Amino acid sequence: MPVFPSKEWCEEAIRLTNADPESAHAGAGWEGDFGAIVDAEPGKLPRAFVAHVVPKGGRIEKLRVLEDPDDLEELEPAYVARAPYSVWKGLLLGQLDPVEAVLKRRITMQGDLQPLIERMRYKGIADRVFAQLATVFPDEQGGSR
């Protein structure tokens, strides 16, 4: 079982997303790469985790794991989502609604949010992917989802 956050976890999430039958339709015509920053939290996640993904043709085509959030700034992705580890964990466990988390500023988003809002009807893809993705969280000894 991959640990969240890690390159292995991201690779499995991408594999499952690309395999989802609705994914190609949801991503059709999408423009813009994504950055995600999982901020460190004492006792839960010792250092920040940074990922950069590039979608193309309705699929996620490229993943890069970066050493530091500053490395992401150099890439200038169209979208950046940033939140503390516990917020990301709550999203993955279905304990937090992503729209509510953004509105309450628990997640900071950079980029044109309109295309994201228009694609919220495809939220079920993420729900299906996370339900299939067995995850180990570093702040839970032996815990998993």
Q: Check which CATH number belongs to the domain holding 82 and give it.
A: 3.30.1050.10
Q: Is 142 domain-assigned? A: no
Q: Is 138 domain-assigned? A: no
Strands (DSSP E) along 7-143, which ranges? 34-39, 49-56, 59-66, 79-84, 108-110
Q: Is 105 domain-assigned? A: yes
List the domain range (segments joined by +) for residue 97: 7-132
Q: Is 72 domain-assigned? A: yes
Quick one: pLDDT band at residue 68, thresholds 50, 70, 90? very high
Give the pLDDT confidence score for residue 10 in this predicted structure.
97
Q: Is 90 domain-assigned? A: yes
User: Backbone dihedral region of 39: left (phi > 0), alpha (psi from -120 to 50 degrees) or beta?
Assistant: beta
Q: Is 19 domain-assigned? A: yes
Q: Is 144 domain-assigned? A: no
Q: From residue 12, how far is each of 87, 98, 110 by CA, in Å?
A: 20, 21, 25
- Number of domain units in the chain: 1
Rounded mean pLDDT, 100-129? 87
Give the pLDDT confidence score for residue 143 in this predicted structure.
46
